[in-house]
Amino acid sequence: MTTTDPPTDRPVPEALPDPSALLRGTNWASLETATGPARKLPQALIRLLEPDLTMPEARKALDALEPVRHQNTIYDATPATALFVAALLARRTTQHGMEANGVCMLLLAWLAGVATDSDDACVAAGNRYFDGNYLDGYPAMVAMRALRPVLYRAVSPFLDNADAAVRDTALAAALAFAEHPALAPHRDNLIHHARQLLLTNDTQWRRQQALDALRAWGHDTTGLTRPGDDDRSPYTSDSLWPDGDFATPPF
């Protein structure tokens, strides 16, 4: 679960930016989505900045971001959008503390979805079809994966949240982001959380992700597995990865 990526030609911040500044400073019209240039994307992002945002309003705004994750694909505009969502989540954490209200959960779920859309398993699958050169022709994916260390900063504060659903959502994102070599020092802590999840969580794709991380990072899974954990059949509905429906997030 650790892949060496080519360098990105886009700036990679060391810290999460101010979301409002990022929104103003990004040339959205120059970035492509599944439906063309991202000219209308700022309208949805502006709505997410509202301090009194309700869950229905947040769902509607996040629904409008579908063109940057259509069919679980990373587009040219996806990295900047993910950075914005992470920056917004961090700001809400500062404003509201670690209560992780419903809006925070939706933002976490969105980030967890984009994390799995760009993880090492996705790259490995792509490499099988592109003779190991998948990332060479996919600068948007390279840029997305280069942001993993800074995106991790937004989700990691929720790993110890009192709410199990919040913890598990944060872990789904963190395990994928931590495949980045720069986050290797954080993996032992994530393994602790993954073991706890395997003791308490019955959701098959979550268990598979946790087991994959344990094995890839050299940890023993004895006593943590259950019958069916390794069933990756596409015909078993509960074995599938989440499809990005953050309106009713499986996280």
Provide DSSP, 39-74. TTHHHHHHHHT-TT--HHHHHHHHHTTGGGTGGG--
Q: Which of 154, 122, 140, 112 is nearest to 245 (CA)?
A: 112
SS3 of the chain: helix, strand, coil, percent, to 5: 60, 0, 35
The C-alpha atoms of residue 202 and residue 164 are separated, in whole angstroms, by 12
**What are the residue ranges spanned by the domains of the chain?**
19-239
User: What's the pTM?
Assistant: 0.90
Token pair recorded at residue 52: 């009194």
Per-residue exposure over 211-250, b if at least 16 CB sit within 10 Å of its own CB, e if not:
bbbbeebebeeeebeeeebeeeeeeeeebebbebebeebb
In eight-state DSSP terms, residue 131 is: T
- Cβ-based neighbours of 192, under 8 Å, separated by 6 or more: none
Beta bridge partners of 36: 33
Look-up of token digits 């309700």: 54
pLDDT in 10s for each residue of the chain, 251 residues:
556 899 998 989 999 999 999 999 999 999 999 999 999 999 999 999 998 889 999 999 999 999 999 999 999 999 999 999 999 999 998 877 655 678 999 999 999 999 999 999 999 999 999 999 999 999 999 999 999 999 999 999 999 998 999 999 999 999 999 999 999 999 999 999 999 999 999 998 899 999 999 999 999 998 898 887 776 654 333 333 444 444 443 33
- Cβ-based neighbours of 5, under 8 Å, separated by 6 or more: 123, 135, 142, 145, 146
- Give me the DSSP letters along 87-117: HHHHHHHHHHGGG--HHHHHHHHHHHHHHHH
Contact 171, 116 (CB under 8 A): no
